[in-house]
Structure 1
């Protein structure tokens, strides 16, 4: 498994746990970093901190583009995957959009329901179409 793939999985784990516990994701991240084992990859730190810093905008975008579902009704793990991926799509300029979406879909396939990969793909595609300018 590639390093960034592992980092994304770790970021989703932290975001998911923080959401379930009603905890601050950055504080939970600090706890995980202090645990030392397994180590928290730098990219996971970047993702969790980025989601926390941009959470209101990220949640607004997910809520707007999650057709048929409110943010609160989404499966918890899907919400964590979408938050991480939206941050990476909009604020991580060193990662191609197609890679972000593919990785998020694969995480949904591995961690969530049978319907989640297609749903995550659709929400992220809609956000990408609406929020990321195309170069002409």
Structure 2
């Protein structure tokens, strides 16, 4: 499974956990197609997001103007939670890649307006936290 599909499956599982309270491994299994198998990425990010969700939610909430986190769509919340987790906890994923993938995932689920909303929130958070201030090309690890 490529990383883009894995992100979509992670968002679906995180959404199910939030909406139904189902255990994350069951949510993951129900989000996979019959021929798909979960990879290490999914076994890291889904429980990882859930473990630090309160801290992630607080960071997202700080960036919302005239909104509350509860008012944000459930899918957009799941997309942003995954992106913030990747930005903070996955050193193998450049910050800008996590941001761009979140925008694309939000667009896939909710259209261009969802992509713009997610972009605004996550870009503000990235700039505030100074994540990705150094490009992955600056490290010499091309």
TM-score by length of 2: 0.82
Task: Give 3-state SS (helix, strand or coil) of 1:93's partner.
Answer: coil
Structure whose alpha-carbon radius of gyration is higher: 2
Q: Which runs of 5+ in 2 are unaligned?
A: 135-142
User: Does the C-alpha gap of structure 1 residues 23 and 70 become closer, same or farther in structure 2, counting only changes over 3 Å?
Assistant: farther
Name the structure 1 match of 2:51: 53
Quote the residue 2:127 is aligned against.
129
Tell me the number of residue pairs that the alignment of Structure 1 and Structure 2 aligns: 133
Match of 1:71 in 2: 69
Alignment CA distance shift 1:97-1:24 (3 Å): same
Higher relative contact order (CA 8 A, sep 6+): 1
1:1-136 aligned within 5 A: 3-25=2-24, 28-29=27-28, 32=30, 37-133=35-131, 134-135=133-134
State TM-score, norm by structure 1.
Answer: 0.85
Q: Which runs of 4+ in 1 moved over 4 A?
A: none
Unpaired segments ≥5 residues, structure 1 = none
Query: What is the RMSD of the two structures over their aligned residues, measured on CA atoms?
Result: 2.3
